[in-house]
Amino acid sequence: MKTKNERVVIDGLDKIILRALMNDARKSINEIAKTAGISGAAVHQRLKKLESSGLISGSQVVINPKILGYKTMAFIGIYLDKAMRNPEAVKQLEKIPEVIECHYTTGHWSVLIKILCEDNEHLMTLLNHKIQTIDGVSRTETFISLNQQIKRQIQL
């Protein structure tokens, strides 16, 4: 791994290590070392450098929300009456556990959020009683996802 113009440049070994972890974050350093043809200590050292560079920002367990009963995914464009209301609106959105992503955007909306709900009734309740009641929200536009067809990270 090198840095060039404040950008991290990774080599072939880094890619092997990162791809292995992207496929299975629980893969052991020794398994990765065998695949890469280097020692476990070398893999460990490279991982530490990749983490300190900020390229690796963590690892996580991915929960299947459908198993917990969350079957409706929706994207909601939120129109704020004034741009200066954004920080307070985001604080209020953070209090809603069903909001799993929030983006400050260009275009028609001030904010775009991604939410998970049990069903359409749950979605309607969230909209009417939690999201549209936030100070500064003038209106919303909702898009229900019928099926997530692509989910991936950046390719290495």
66-113 pLDDT per residue, tens = 999 999 999 999 999 999 999 999 999 999 999 999 999 999 999 999
Residues 82 and 124 in one domain: yes
Confidence class for position 13, pLDDT limits 50, 70, 90: very high
Report the CATH number at residue 41.
1.10.10.10
Cα Rg, the chain, nearest whole Å: 21
| Amino acid making up residue 22 | M
Residues 138 and 69 in one domain: yes
Confidence class for position 8, pLDDT limits 50, 70, 90: confident
d(CA 104, CA 87): 10
Identify whether the C-beta of residue 112 lies closer than 8 Å to the C-beta of residue 78. Answer: yes
| pLDDT confidence of residue 7 | 85
Residues 74 and 105 in one domain: yes
Range of the domain at 6: 2-53
Report the CATH number at residue 82.
3.30.70.920
Residues 70 and 141 in one domain: yes
> Would you say residue 70 lies in a domain?
yes
> Would you say residue 150 lies in a domain?
no
Confidence class for position 51, pLDDT limits 50, 70, 90: very high
Number of structural domains, the chain? Answer: 2
Query: pTM for the whole thing?
Result: 0.85
